[in-house]
């Protein structure tokens, strides 16, 4: 869907032309291929690991342009781009297939929360480190007893005057074993009702008493860890917002996490599903040889095409000053369910070849491993059921009792 | 183009909603049904609609129209979908006007379009021949009698067929497909009204060497018919969006009001999640309908694709929402006294009209070469 922009088309067109030319001249060829997994992405951090020279060159060129986080304010190392300009940049990067130069939960999740809730000193310090890719962040939310019921978290932070003493365990901490810092929800008031005793704390992972253990998943990968805190001292200046007011920040950040997960399809292969189907099943009498799967593929492609129109419509409504029609819960729910359906269909279309777990022919089981991974789409960041609860209560106004 | 309504379009929509709520609510359809009304629509309401300009929205100014566009007409149709209003909007405005605009000669446009704009002329498209939608499979034929022609064939599911003043008929001659105009009172035309489950007008029409004139040029029947049907599919999808939204709103209101086990039934998660899922599908329906309507007005090449997307998506979603509405209303939803059943009945007819879900799924796949 093309969506016309109302703001100064000529200036924006110039920006588009310049951006296109710059990207074509500066984005190395190898950085124009879709990422196969998180190991292809550059995550930054204190001990940066580039998996190729091109990746390094691309990151450094984009950093110089302040385009690691193009839409953040310039004072924090962002590009200061307007919404429209940022959209143009995304479109132009999408056109060439340019990978984002830097992936980081500091950008997609923590940053928006800091911009809204942190004090000036924290913003200045942490946001600049994030845009420069100097810190690898992980998220300390879930606990063994606090999944969908996140507010039930028990990790404690005891007031010891100049510092908090943190004890407890987090789970599903993405890349905790590689991270430099963690943004964490902790209980600072055990007596208060569960939502009112929570604070938002930033913790240096190299602090004494922090340890991690990777969790092996269905896909064979281990991007998630358990993270343990054993008498960890955390300076009070690392508290974001007010003590015991962390739940508001947590919810705000979850909105951004939902949007990020809602965009799961974005970094995956752009090949239309029916092309995949044709490659694996072929044509017979001018239609896909498996006529039942043909119907399923068409249904999926229609739903996907229409869902993308809803994304455009929502952006247009916001631009036109109308209130947000659809919530992030809707996008998170629908996008993740669509992505799961897509991989189910690809597994069906690929047949037994799609079951190969190892070996070069299967690219080390790329399809079945990704298939397994997508099952988490509708669990992480709030399950589909939690999203449906939110829609029922907040949008439809259905009663709780 | 941004996927939002202009101020004028929004105003038209809200004034239509107000008018229809007052003058053509679901109760009016019930009355037409119970009275076994001969016309099957209310001519007073139709006259008022024409006076408000609803019949002129898609007619160019040079033919006495408002040239307001299909996005505007879509808003009216959406509102008539909420009230289940029976009127010649689909037969005469959505189909008739579009056929004449797309295929008619200058003289035909000048003669017919102003009459439609005034609300004086009702048109019915006689295209379907089987109970499955196959608009290009045509058994009806015509012969040339020099200046005029003669049409023979049997057409089914002719919307507003028993009240129309003129038919536009698809027929073939020597491998050429054309559209022909036949007066309803011409010799050789016999009309049998069919009472449908949605209490809206349809008829079986037989032509036996009925006198006809060509609509525009000979041989361009398929092109004009396909282009018109795509626009009609999108317009009907807009109507179905209104029906879907209204059935959903009524269901949500009922979930909040109906008490069982001492609580409103809306507290039950078994119902909440289904309601939330419907909300998501309806959001998507809104997007595809506005995108498709705007594509017509832009003259976009994507209209056929969007027509199939819109008709399929709305068909599937209206089916879901009308079924869930009945289930969630429970026993009361099964009674004729409760209006929600009218939405289920209209849903099933609208789903079939201009191609059902499977038809458009297949067409979409073909358009993408698989």
Total length of chain B: 370
Interchain contact B309–A (C-beta under 8 A):
yes
Mean confidence (pLDDT) of chain A: 91
Please give the pLDDT value at position A326.
60
Rank A5-9, A193-197, B306-310 by mean pLDDT and report only the highest: B306-310
Same domain, B135 and B215: yes
What interface predicted TM-score (ipTM) does this complex get? 0.95
pLDDT at B118 over 80: yes
Tell me whether residue A132 is in a domain: no
pLDDT at B102 over 70: yes
Same domain, B11 and B101: yes
State how far the Cα of B62 lies from the Cα of B114, in Å rounded to an integer.
Answer: 9
Q: List chain A residues with CB under 8 Å of B361.
A: 295, 298-299, 302
Same domain, B249 and B319: yes
Tell me whether residue B295 is in a domain: yes
pLDDT at A65 over 90: yes
Tell me whether residue A159 is in a domain: yes
Same domain, B211 and B306: no
Same domain, A352 and A268: yes
Please give the pLDDT value at position A315.
83
Tell me whether residue B2 is in a domain: no
Same domain, A229 and A145: yes
Interchain contact B184–A (C-beta under 8 A):
no
pLDDT at A73 over 70: yes
State how far the Cα of B216 lies from the Cα of B105, in Å rounded to an integer.
Answer: 5
Boundary of a domain, candidates B84, B105, B120:
B120
Q: Does B276 contact A1 at a Cβ distance shorter than 8 Å?
A: no
Tell me whether residue B69 is in a domain: yes
The mean pLDDT value for B106-115 works out to 98
Same domain, A152 and A47: no
Please give the pLDDT value at position A261.
67
CA angle A124, A177, A155 (to 5 degrees): 75
A8 confidence band (pLDDT: 50, 70, 90): low
pLDDT at B98 over 90: yes
- The answer to whether A80 touches A38, Cβ cutoff 8 Å, is no
Cα of A355 to nearest chain B Cα, Å: 25
Tokens (6 digits) for A341: 């359906």
Same domain, A224 and A309: no
Tokens (6 digits) for B213: 């004139």
* Distance spanning both ends of chain A, measured CA to CA: 42
pLDDT digits (tens, 9 = 90+) for B137-156: 999 999 998 889 999 999 99
Of B145, B224, B245, B195, the closest CA to residue B37 belongs to B195
Boundary of a domain, candidates B219, B246, B269:
B219
Same domain, A214 and A268: no
Same domain, A273 and A386: yes
Residue A56 is part of which domain span? 9-103
Please give the pLDDT value at position B340.
98
Tell me whether residue B183 is in a domain: yes
Please give the pLDDT value at position B199.
98
Cα of A2 to nearest chain B Cα, Å: 7
Task: Give the DSSP H or E segment for B168.
Answer: strand B166-173
Q: Report which of residues A219 and A36 the model is more confident about.
A: A219
Helices and strands, counts by H and E, chain B: 11, 9
DSSP-derived 3-state class of residue A235: strand
Tell me whether residue A210 is in a domain: yes
Residue B141 is part of which domain span? 124-219
For residue A296, what is the domain's CATH number? Answer: 1.20.140.10
pLDDT at A230 over 90: yes
Please give the pLDDT value at position A269.
47
Please give the pLDDT value at position A323.
67
Tell me whether residue B1 is in a domain: no
Q: Does A397 contact B256 at a Cβ distance shorter than 8 Å?
A: yes
- The answer to whether B266 touches A398, Cβ cutoff 8 Å, is yes
For residue B309, what is the domain's CATH number? Answer: 1.20.140.10
Please give the pLDDT value at position B324.
98
Of B330, B236, B370, B122, the closest CA to residue A278 belongs to B370
Phi-psi region of B155 (alpha: psi -120 to 50; beta: other; left: phi over 0): beta
Tell me whether residue A329 is in a domain: yes
Boundary of a domain, candidates A216, A245, A274:
A245
Interchain contact B368–A (C-beta under 8 A):
yes
Same domain, B27 and B112: yes
Q: Does B2 contact A298 at a Cβ distance shorter than 8 Å?
A: no
User: Which residues 40-79 in chain B show a CB within 8 A of chain A?
Assistant: none
- The rounded Cα B338 to chain-centroid distance in angstroms is 24
Same domain, B70 and B115: yes
Domain count, chain B: 3
Q: How much of chain A is in helix, strand and coil states, percent to nearest 5? A: 50, 15, 35
Same domain, A197 and A288: no
Phi, psi of B167 (to 5 degrees): -105, 145
State how far the Cα of B354 lies from the Cα of B159, in Å rounded to an integer.
Answer: 11
Tell me whether residue A123 is in a domain: no
For residue B188, what is the domain's CATH number? Answer: 2.40.110.10
Q: Does B370 contact A326 at a Cβ distance shorter than 8 Å?
A: no
Tokens (6 digits) for A83: 């919404």
Tell me whether residue B353 is in a domain: yes
Same domain, A91 and A50: yes
Please give the pLDDT value at position A316.
86
Return the residue matching tokens 């922009």: A5
pLDDT at B8 over 90: yes
pLDDT at A5 over 70: no
Please give the pLDDT value at position A232.
98
The mean pLDDT value for B41-53 works out to 98
Cα of A29 to nearest chain B Cα, Å: 30
Of B163, B267, B178, B90, the closest CA to residue A393 belongs to B267
Tell me whether residue A297 is in a domain: yes
pLDDT at B93 over 80: yes
DSSP-derived 3-state class of residue A164: strand
For residue A155, what is the domain's CATH number? Answer: 2.40.110.10
Boundary of a domain, candidates B104, B120, B136:
B120
Task: Give the DSSP H or E segment for A163.
Answer: strand A163-174
Same domain, A167 and A275: no
Q: How much of chain B is in helix, strand and coil states, percent to nearest 5? A: 55, 15, 30
Same domain, A200 and A240: yes
Same domain, B239 and B362: yes
Q: What percent of chain B has pLDDT over 90?
A: 99
Q: Does B280 contact A330 at a Cβ distance shorter than 8 Å?
A: yes
Of B307, B138, B155, the closest CA to residue B236 belongs to B307
A324 confidence band (pLDDT: 50, 70, 90): low
pLDDT digits (tens, 9 = 90+) for B212-271: 999 999 999 999 999 999 999 999 999 999 999 999 999 999 999 999 999 999 999 999
Tokens (6 digits) for A186: 């902790």
Q: List chain B residues with CB under 8 Å of A397.
A: 252, 256
Total length of chain A: 401
pLDDT at A2 over 90: no
Same domain, B345 and B237: yes
Please give the pLDDT value at position A256.
78
Return the residue matching tokens 């946001």: A127
Q: Report which of residues B17 and A265 the model is more confident about.
A: B17
Same domain, B210 and B245: no
A268 confidence band (pLDDT: 50, 70, 90): very low
Same domain, B137 and B106: no
The mean pLDDT value for B303-317 works out to 98
- The answer to whether A176 touches A138, Cβ cutoff 8 Å, is yes
- The answer to whether B211 touches B201, Cβ cutoff 8 Å, is no
Q: CB count, 10 Å around CB of A341?
A: 17
Domain count, chain A: 3
A221 confidence band (pLDDT: 50, 70, 90): confident
* Distance spanning both ends of chain B, measured CA to CA: 30
Same domain, A267 and A373: yes
pLDDT at A270 over 80: no
Same domain, B229 and B357: yes
Q: Does B287 contact A303 at a Cβ distance shorter than 8 Å?
A: no
Same domain, A370 and A322: yes
Q: Report which of residues B122 and A7 the model is more confident about.
A: B122
Same domain, B132 and B195: yes
Task: Give the DSSP H or E segment for B269.
Answer: helix B269-298
Mean confidence (pLDDT) of chain B: 97
Tell me whether residue A2 is in a domain: no
């Amino acid at each position: 869907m093309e969506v016309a922009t109302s703001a100064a088309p000529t200036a924006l067109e110039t920006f588009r032309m310049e951006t296109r030319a710059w990207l074509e001249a500066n984005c190395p060829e190898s950085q124009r291929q879709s990422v196969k997994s998180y190991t292809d992405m550059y995550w930054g951090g204190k001990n940066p690991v580039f998996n190729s020279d091109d990746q390094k060159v691309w990151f450094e060129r984009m950093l110089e342009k302040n385009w690691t986080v193009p839409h953040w304010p310039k004072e924090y190392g962002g590009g200061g781009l307007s919404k429209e300009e940022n959209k143009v940049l995304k479109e132009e990067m999408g056109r060439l297939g340019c990978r984002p130069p830097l992936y980081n939960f500091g950008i997609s999740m923590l940053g928006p929360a800091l911009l809204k809730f942190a004090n000036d000193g924290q913003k200045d310090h942490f946001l600049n480190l994030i845009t420069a890719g100097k810190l690898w962040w992980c998220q300390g939310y879930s606990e063994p007893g606090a999944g969908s019921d996140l507010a039930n978290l028990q990790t404690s932070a005891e007031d010891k005057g100049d510092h908090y003493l943190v004890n407890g365990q987090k789970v599903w901490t993405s890349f905790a074993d590689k991270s430099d810092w963690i943004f964490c929800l902790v209980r600072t008031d055990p007596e208060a009702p569960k939502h009112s005793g929570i604070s938002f704390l930033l913790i240096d992972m190299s602090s004494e008493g922090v340890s991690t253990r990777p969790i092996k998943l269905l896909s064979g990968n281990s991007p998630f860890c358990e993270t343990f805190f054993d008498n960890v001292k955390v300076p009070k200046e690392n508290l974001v917002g007010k003590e015991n007011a962390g739940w508001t920040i947590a919810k705000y950040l979850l909105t951004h996490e939902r949007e990020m997960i809602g965009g799961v399809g974005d970094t995956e292969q752009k090949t239309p599903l029916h092309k995949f189907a044709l490659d694996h099943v072929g044509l017979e009498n001018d239609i896909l040889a498996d006529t039942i799967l043909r119907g399923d593929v068409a249904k999926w492609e229609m739903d996907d095409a229409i869902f993308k129109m809803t994304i455009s419509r929502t952006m247009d409504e916001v631009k036109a000053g109308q209130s947000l029609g659809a919530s992030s819960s809707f996008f998170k729910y629908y996008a993740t369910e669509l992505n799961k359906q897509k991989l189910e269909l690809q597994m069906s279309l690929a047949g037994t070849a799609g079951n190969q777990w190892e070996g070069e022919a299967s690219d080390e089981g790329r399809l079945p491993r990704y298939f397994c991974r997508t099952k988490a789409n509708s669990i992480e960041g709030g399950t589909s059921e939690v999203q449906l609860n939110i829609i029922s209560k907040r949008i439809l106004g259905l009663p709780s009792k | 183009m941004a996927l939002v309504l202009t101020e004028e379009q929004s105003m038209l929509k809200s004034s239509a909603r107000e008018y229809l709520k007052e003058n053509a609510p679901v109760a009016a359809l019930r009355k037409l049904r119970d009275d076994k009304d001969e016309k099957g629509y209310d001519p007073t309401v139709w006259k008022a609609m024409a006076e408000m300009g609803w019949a002129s929205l898609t007619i160019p100014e040079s033919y006495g129209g408002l040239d307001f566009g299909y996005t505007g007409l879509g808003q009216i149709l959406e509102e008539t979908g909420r009230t289940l209003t029976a009127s010649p909007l689909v037969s005469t405005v959505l189909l008739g006007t579009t056929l004449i605009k797309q295929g008619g000669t200058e003289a035909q446009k000048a003669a017919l379009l102003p009459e439609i704009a005034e609300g004086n002329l009702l048109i019915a498209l006689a295209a379907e021949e089987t109970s499955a939608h196959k608009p290009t499979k045509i058994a009806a034929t015509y012969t040339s009698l020099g200046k005029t022609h003669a049409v023979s064939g049997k057409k089914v599911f002719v919307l507003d067929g028993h009240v129309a003043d003129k038919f536009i008929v698809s027929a073939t001659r020597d491998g050429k497909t054309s559209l022909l105009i036949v007066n309803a009172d011409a010799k050789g035309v016999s009309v049998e009204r069919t009472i449908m489950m949605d209490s809206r007008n349809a008829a079986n029409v037989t032509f036996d060497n009925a006198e006809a004139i060509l609509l525009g040029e000979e041989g361009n029947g398929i092109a004009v018919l396909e282009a018109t049907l795509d626009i009609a599919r999108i317009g009907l999808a807009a109507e179905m969006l209104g029906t879907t939204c209204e059935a959903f709103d009524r269901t949500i209101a009922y979930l909040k009001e109906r008490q069982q086990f001492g609580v409103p039934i809306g507290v039950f998660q078994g119902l909440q999640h289904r309601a939330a899922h419907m909300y998501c599908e309806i959001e998507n329906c809104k997007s595809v309908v506005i995108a498709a309507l705007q594509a017509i007005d832009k003259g976009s090449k994507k209209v056929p694709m969007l027509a199939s997307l819109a008709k399929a998506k709305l068909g599937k979603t209206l089916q879901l929402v009308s079924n869930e509405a009945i289930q969630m209303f429970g026993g009361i939803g099964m009674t004729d006294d409760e209006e929600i059943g009218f939405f289920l009945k209209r849903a099933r007819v609208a789903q079939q009209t201009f191609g059902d879900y499977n038809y458009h799924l297949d067409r979409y796949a073909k358009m993408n070469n698989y």
